[in-house]
Structure formats: C-alpha cells, structure tokens
Amino acid sequence: MPDAAKKALAELDPVGEEGRLEASTTSFGAAKANVFTIRMGGDAGRIVPLINDIAENLHTLRVLVPVVGEQNTFDRFLRCQIPSELDELLRLSIGVPSHSPITIRRC
C-alpha cells in the first residue's frame, strides 16, 4: 500500500468528532472510544447498519482515491469499487428494480 494511502487511513475519522460521546448505527462504530452502538429491531435494524457501513466505505474511498492517483493498481481498484458500493447502497435503500431491464427501441 502506498505511504500516502496509509497516512490518509491513519488520519481518517469516519465515525465523527474526537472527544465527544457518539451514537453509531454502523456495525463497527462501537470499536472506537466514546461510541455506543444503537440498533433497531426488525428489518430496519438489519438494514440500517448495512447502509451506514456502505456510506462509511464510500467516504473512505473518496479519501483514498486522490492520494493513490499515482499508483495505477490502487487507483483502478478504488475507482472500480465505488460503483459497486453505490449499487449496493441503492439496492439496500430503495430496493431492486421490480421491472425488467430497460430496452432501447429504435424508430
């Protein structure tokens, strides 16, 4: 991993402000100091942490992409991961399309 990426990850604070009591609805938020995990029951209790995890992943990718621009392998990997994360975020947020794929008709 490039040194710039290591530095960006070390400085990344995706959960929130240091020194403040926080509530987290991500699956990993309770691993930080001063953070308490909140979880709802039912379907929302299973989906909300997944949505928040993906949002945190997207935030991390946005931080890393500019610092690995010189490293083609890392840059390509990160840029290819962004659409995958966005697709999953949309799938969990609004669901899968209930209709068949769009077809283009030529006149």
Domain range summary for the chain, segments of one domain joined by +: 9-14+41-94
Are the C-beta atoms of residues 81 and 22 closer than 8 Å to each other? no
- The pLDDT score that the predictor gives to residue 62 is 86
Name the CA dihedral angle for 51, 85, 5, 20, rounded to a multiple of 10 degrees: -10
Over residues 80-103, the mean pLDDT reads: 79
Are the C-beta atoms of residues 51 and 43 closer than 8 Å to each other? no
Compute CA 11 distance to the chain's CA centroid, rounded to the nearest angstrom.
17
Rounded to two decimals, the pTM is: 0.63
Q: CA-to-CA distance for 5 and 61, rounded, in angstroms?
A: 10
User: Per-residue pLDDT for 22 more than 70?
Assistant: no
What are the φ and ψ backbone dihedral angles of 102, each rounded to 5 degrees?
-70, 135
- The pLDDT score that the predictor gives to residue 73 is 81
